A and B are shown apart, each in its own frame.
Chain A
Amino acid sequence: MSTHSSPPAATPAVGRWQRLRDSYLWYSFKRDRGAQLCLATLLALVGMALLAPWLAPTDPYDLAQIDILASELPPFWIEGSDPAYSLGTDAQGRDLWSIILYGTRVSLLIGFGAVLLQALLGVVFGLLAGYLGGRVDALLMRLADIQLSFSTLMVAIVVGAVVKATLGGSFYSDYAILMLILIIGLAEWPQYARTVRASVLAEKRKEYVDAAKVMGLKSRRIMFRHVLPNTLSPIFVISTVQIANAIISEAALSFLGLGMPETHPSLGSLIKAGFDYLQSGAWWITLIPGAFLVVLVLSINLLGDWLRDVMNPRLYKG
């Protein structure tokens, strides 16, 4: 199902919407209640995260607004709760609802950022490997093989640990978002590179590439302008799963103390901070952020599953 893109000048933005509405993707989306529910949940969570400064009753980063005496208050449906804190408070007396809003924001930012970096690296390397072949291909794919054989989470943990030890804890905490994007991005690029390479190998043999070559176009132009657009659908599909993975990886790193500091928490570091108070009965500090994390990841994963079924691209199998 490779549709040739029409000349951009002739069809303005309206035409693009029209094309989406005519597509099979939109058709199956309209018929699938599950997919609609997932997208709605995801959009709601993303919206909440984006609007956190306006939605949150308190600013959890502002020390002046934190009341240590109000710490470990339970959520509203349990006796002893305070109506000012709908989901209760954490051990430092921060409003759990506010800190979850901000935490979701951090988790999503890192997830999307890391996937953007992975995609950038993976697409460039995958294109080069697939299109050029030969030694470049062998070198890049061997590198990808080695890295994948170690599992991305392991690579991320080791790199995170080493970077943290090299730069010192406080520096690492200050630039934690950037660091995590870099670490998770570097740890997972082989997934993209393999997928892109597999589709490039299939596309390379088609006539339009030969035609472009005969016309005397440069390799770079053929790669990025002709081959790349036709490999986009598998990239699209694995991106959903990769975002879910990146969010989980970030949470895992934060849980191990290699991620976001507690003063600027993501969902993962909220779970870590709350875990210490689980035995004292304050389960909500760890399990409510956990529930948000699971709902976020689950909705992305289910959307990814649906997308894969609909688009059914030739995904590269191990």
Chain B
Amino acid sequence: MIAFLTKRLMHALLVMFIISVIAFAIQDNLGDPIQQMVGQSVPESEREALREQFGLNDPFHVQYLRFAGNALSGDFGTSYFYREPALEVIARHLPATLELVFGATLLIVLLSVPIGVYSAIKPRALLSRFFMGASIIGISIPVFLTAILLIQVFSIGISVSLFPESTAWGAWLNGLLSTDGGMPSFGRGQDLVPVVGHWETNLASLGGLKHLVLPSVALASIMLPLFIRLIRAEMMEVLQSEYVKFARAKGIGVRRIYFLHALKNTMLPVITVGGVQIGTMVAYTILTETVFQWPGMGLMFLDAINRADIPLIVAYLMIVGVIFVVTNTLVDLIYGLVNPTVKLTGKPA
């Protein structure tokens, strides 16, 4: 166990090192801090002196070590646009993203497990086929398009006049297909409740929750089909296994077999995939936040790119890198703990 733990930690540190080198290389090659600090009128000799003073002429590894040292103490430089420490800017945007991810994860967990299990138990049922069909359509719609569709339907509203309005059923069908809209689709709204420090929450008021609905649904829509299909596939495999057959032969109730014995082993691979998907989720938050102008880290990152705000870009990459590495390592460790068949030390280096 100890050997496995150290190996995983070493791996995590190595990945973090690579990320930091890439982040530093970006910072080093993009943007000239002197250019940002002084105006056009400052002569070249003074610029050179400033460069020397800030150590910008030092060799790569010296500068990298300085960068890494600063980063370890939480100093990622000052954002060009916000004129405040980059970490501070990120901390301010973090809660919005976390609440969005929380909302989406809640939807995914609450929906994917029952749907996945149901369509594994009854693979030929009409409803299962519907779920499978819907899930492949879900995978094929890019997240930003789902978001736009949601805005059109639930925020702007649609009026359908496909059927003749004169007949009763036509009017009824038209009314059924039309929506009023009115759901908020822009930003986090005014009803934010302050919690601690930078953290103002959407979760504590009705108005805030309303703002969270569409972005969460959009973000969940892209991951949900994946998890439904995964849970279904794993569950079907588990249901074929010897111990399930044995449990049936023993006369254990179907419910008990499905939800106690089979589901437990189904969830193992789901944990691993879930951990890996956190990375994908971060990428999708950028898209979702852009559509809904949700003031989280993703939107901040995109704005930083458009403003060439190098320190903020670098800080974002490092923070996201830390999030990835920590979650991946945790998932590996949890998997090793809950699944005794994993050879902890036998992994190839």
Contacts and interface: CB of A to CB of B under 8 A. Distances in A.
Interface of A: 138, 146, 148-151, 153-154, 157-158, 161-162, 164-166, 244, 248, 251-252, 255-258, 268, 271, 275, 278-279, 281, 283, 286-287, 290, 293-294, 297-298, 301-302, 305, 318
A28 B313 CA distance: 51
A274 to B, nearest CB: 9
Contacts, number: 103
Contacts of B29: 166
A290 B328 CA distance: 34
Contact of B284 (A150, A153, A164, A251): A153
Given A286-B148, A301-B139, A305-B136, 6 more contacts: A150-B279, A153-B280, A166-B30, A252-B144, A255-B287, A283-B152
Given A150-B279, A153-B280, A244 B272 contact: no
B136 A251 contact: no
B309 to A, nearest CB: 10
Among B148, B284, B308, B349: residue with most chain A CB under 10 A: B148
Contact of B306 (A162, A257, A275): A257
B302 interface: yes
B184 to A, nearest CB: 13
Contact of B279 (A149, A162, A165, A301): A149
Given A165-B308, A287-B148, A275 B291 contact: yes
Interface string B329-349: 000000000000000000011
Given A149-B324, A252-B287, A298 B136 contact: yes
Contacts of A158: 317
B97 interface: no
Interface in B276-328: 276-277, 279-280, 282-284, 286-287, 290-291, 302, 305-306, 308, 310, 313, 317, 320, 324, 328
Nearest to A141: B348
Contact of A278 (B143, B151, B287): B151
A211 B141 CA distance: 48
B305 A161 contact: yes
B149 interface: yes
A138 B308 contact: no
Contacts of B302: 256-257
Main secondary structure of the interface of A (DSSP, over half): helix
A242 to B, nearest CB: 13
A87 to B, nearest CB: 17
B49 interface: no
A256 B317 contact: no
Interface of B: 15, 18, 26, 29-30, 136-137, 139-145, 148-149, 151-152, 156, 269, 272-273, 276-277, 279-280, 282-284, 286-287, 290-291, 302, 305-306, 308, 310, 313, 317, 320, 324, 328, 348-349
Given A252-B142, A318-B269, A162 B282 contact: no
A28 B290 CA distance: 43
Contact of B145 (A162, A166, A290): A290
A248 B291 CA distance: 16
Given A153-B284, A287-B149, A255 B144 contact: yes
A301 B136 contact: yes
A281 B142 CA distance: 22
Contacts of B348: 138
Contacts of A279: 156
A164 B276 contact: no
29 contacts: A138-B348, A149-B15, A149-B324, A153-B283, A154-B280, A154-B282, A158-B317, A165-B30, A166-B30, A244-B140, A248-B142, A252-B287, A255-B287, A256-B287, A256-B290, A256-B302, A257-B302, A275-B291, A278-B156, A283-B156, A286-B148, A290-B145, A290-B148, A297-B141, A298-B140, A302-B136, A318-B269, A318-B272, A318-B276
Contacts of B139: 301
A252 B142 CA distance: 7
Contacts of B137: 294, 298
A157 B283 contact: yes
Nearest to B139: A301
A150 B286 CA distance: 14
A318 B273 contact: yes
Contacts of A165: 30, 305, 308, 310, 313
A14 B215 CA distance: 55
A162 B276 contact: no
Contacts of B26: 162
Contacts of B144: 251-252, 255, 271
